[in-house]
Structure 1
Amino acid sequence: MPPLLRPIGILLLAGLPSFASVAVAQQISPPAPEAMRALEATRAQQLFIRGLTQAYLGNHEAALALFDEALQFAPHEAALLSAAADAYAALDDVSNALFYAEQALREAPDNPYYAHRIARLYRDAGRTEDALAAYARLVERVPSDLDARLEMARLLVSLGRYTDAIAAYETAIEQLGERPELLRQILHLYRQRGDDRGALRTLQTLIEQDGPNPAYLRMLGELYQRLDDPDAAVAAYEAALAADPDDAEAAQALQTLYRSLGRPTASPDRPHHAALPEAASPDRLYARAASLAASAGSDTAATAEAAGLLERVLEQDPEHTGAMILLGDLHYRAGAYAQAAEWLERALQRNPRDPQLWLQAAAAHLQSGQPRRAADLAEEGLILFPGQVPLVRIAAYGLMESGRSEAALHRFEETLVLMREDGTDDAGERAAAMAAMAAIHARNGDTARADSLFAEALRADPDHPVALNHLAYSLALRGERLAEAERMARRALARQPDEPAFMDTLGWILFRQGRTEEAADWLQRAIDTGRAGPAAYEHLGDVMAARQDLAAARIFWRRALEMNPDNPALRARLDRLDE
């Protein structure tokens, strides 16, 4: 089953409400009122799903026709009204979009999604004051809504009301805490307005949170110079160079300051990264590696140099946990997930008290195509740190990928509950979790429950690539609407073109359409990423078997079984092949 392999960032929007799940009653003549209502709700939901499909395909007029028909059966359904608003907005009909968005908010005034939607429509229509008022009402009702506060402050900036924007950020920081995204925004405003004291205060907090960030330290040195505190400026520039010896701007500023203070200057031709002696201590080697890793970006030479220094650290001190973690992180960034998992798990054995380390190690195993180990590791971490949402989520995907459906469903449901309870509910994460649950139900043959969850997931985030991918895969498993499934899979790939799970889905859909050559190409691409799960290997084995290349099929099926031993159907297939 295609996984979600991107743990993700935490936003504060809740998912949209779903239609009530109804069972189709046996036809009675004449129908009882309850049965009629159930039939109408079912018909409205079917039209809604068809309308969403048309919207995904860009056929917004066709989508509107379906939504209008659905509204005849469910005129007070906020999700339907909001979908109609989105379709009108896509057609640049702002007046009707606002009309339906206002109705959706009237029907569900406590759902922040609809409040956000109408505020964005006001903003996009140029009605900035109305947008500001909408965000102000939302913040008053949901003080913890960070996105609303950020949008409100950005609108104030766009109106040139900088003092009000600063006040909005300061209030947000007071109520939500010193979050980095808030601090970075207010820092920009302080600097723009020439408020050096406010900028200084904010920079010091950011440096305390992030550690010795060279850019922040260099900025701090500039501020101290403007505030006529040269000694503090020297200390800031020296700290910037200690964090990144290649920081030419900090080196130049420091030499200028030295000269103005009558101090000896460093030699201008001194290399910023002098070679470390062979006898350098582990701590000095580690510091240089950390500096290189922090500034390497896409510089593969710097990354390789940092990795080499870390290996020297571990030769001298095999128990250096920091070096193991950083080496695992470097491998992860380079896409070498199996090596990353190995180093991170070694670090975990020495420092099991860090929940983030449990998460990193489990994620590396999941990315490397070892879902069973990922799930087991996450479950171990949850014994020590129960209720940690990211760990619960990783456990859920690992369980799903390794075929343990019931346990996976339990963990996904727990994820949704925990996100609501701790205020970290996010539309994208909610959509991904519900889509995964829907995929499990579809695989287990409960198509009614699967369709209901897919609809709810896509209401929460209509463009979520994982939700699109899971729905496409579910349709492929059922052999239904394969052309539509192909379009969805390609939309998901357009958003995450390097995701092997999405390549696997497209390959499987093409195979179900009888396009074996194209299917083999996409499945091989998934495997070539080095991050494919067992499903991609099994599917490519199926393609090879269909092409009568049983030797190749055996190779891919065996690899799939090695990665996921809990696949009795595949084991039986291999046994028959070996007879």
Structure 2
Amino acid sequence: MIHLKFQIVCSFLILSFASGCATYKGKLKEPVTQKKEYISQAAAKEGLPQDYRAYYHYLMGLINELHNDIEPAIKEYQKARLYDPKSIAVLKNLAVVSLRKGDIISALDACEESLKIDPNFISARMIKGSIYSSQKKYESAVEEYKKVIEIDPQAKDAHLYLGIIYAENKDYDSAIAMLEKLIKIEPNYVLGFYYLGRINAKTKNYAKAEEHFTKALEIHPNFLKVMEDLGLVYQLQKKHDSAIDMYKKILEIDPLNELAHNMLGEIYIKEEAYDKALDEYKKLSESLPDNVEVRIKMGLIYYQQKDLMRALEEFQLARAADPKNGKTIFYIASIYEEMNNYEDALDEWLKLLKIEPKSVDIMLHISQIYEKLKKLEEAIDIINRAIKIEPNDPKLYFYLGVAQYNEKRYTDAVENFKKAVEMEPENDTYHFRLGITYEKLKEYGKCIDAMKKTLQLNEDHPSAHNYLGYIYAEMGINLNDALEHIMKALEFESDNGYFLDSLGWVYYKKELYDKAIEKLEEAVLLVPDDPTMYDHLGEAYFRINNYEKAKDAWEKSLKGEKNSAIEEKVKKANKLLRNKPRK
């Protein structure tokens, strides 16, 4: 997006002198005379000093200005005023050098003095307008520029600056009207077309902006700022080929132009031409080796290409240039996670937390990494830290409940899920997790209530349908309803092994053992390491007296989790196999 910040910059013209002035270092000796001599009447019309002594100090002031000696210039103009206090040229130059020194008050005073002498002195009003505009005293600035136009209706700069002020204050209609008057006064006034283009871009009239920028380039073909903005307008209109051509022209004039390389990179990324985008950012990185944003963009392209090591290298280089850049640390941490290097990822997230010590989101992410590292107590501790910062945030209690659930602290988990539900009762996920925790505590009635509430809030919640069906099957009740819920779940995820296990278990409870075995076999193929699924499969085989397969299924269940009840089932199957008559 084009960000338009309109700033008024006043240019002040200084009288030029013979070439010797530029290198002059000495002092002129003031001529001695007893006579009052005056400068010509032509000089008087220009507001130049009429007293020869005033004119001498005026010239000395100009020479000091040419050498950028501001303090001596001020002193010379002040001496000139002693001999000719009514010279508006002296006052104007005094205002200019005071402004360069940063002495705004003295500059305004000089302008006011000159306007007492000549209220139609345009230069003084232009300087005042510039000062007021820089101070954001826009009403006063507008007043000065309007007076200039009253004095001289053809005053181009006054029209320009008024247009810019109107735009700065979002009065775009007045800004456009003023700038259109300007280009009628001077049809080749390039800044008029340039600012018209910027205002139309700001108001999203991109076609008109393109027209004005194009006209500005006809007048001044190598105006880089216009070329940059026209390239951006092409991009906003999705004219990517035109934008590419414009940015390439910019780079012919200015090979190190940062905006052109950046914008070319962005266009190539959108077109998924990642190698071309990399070329642009590499050129930038050669001239700006410590530019963090360029390194980050290169890193993101490598990340997109799944070249994680090179992405990591770019992000590390970005970090070297700016060690406390949170964005860089975030990307480094993300790559470590992508590599399943959770220890290093954790170190990076902890560094990020030092930069943003009150970030609840960072604390939550760290808790999830702790869980992946099986450091459940640390996960719980950091979530409790987050709760102290944001005690009324329901998601914190939810994630605390999740961590406690994973640590098999089901009673504690229930309490925190209940808090989350109380704070945000319309969140179906909170009700669902509360329900599955009740199932772990074998509080099946409460589990059923929670699942029904979940489905009331979100009837398309496949896991809630599955859980409700499974609980009905586990309890041996409402088996037709159970079948209906699980079939609904499978409409959403037909290859979900857990849902197929639930379906097989319903068939088992309905004594449809062949159907049960078919679905349970599919389930263990999809989820080959779940002890409960193999237990279910073993039960189904046992019911059709296939004790060998029942035993195999239960032994696989024991590989995943030691369970005394399953061990007893294996013993029972072995006993039956030993007692089975031989053919």
TM-score with structure 2 setting the length: 0.42
TM normalised by structure 1 equals: 0.43
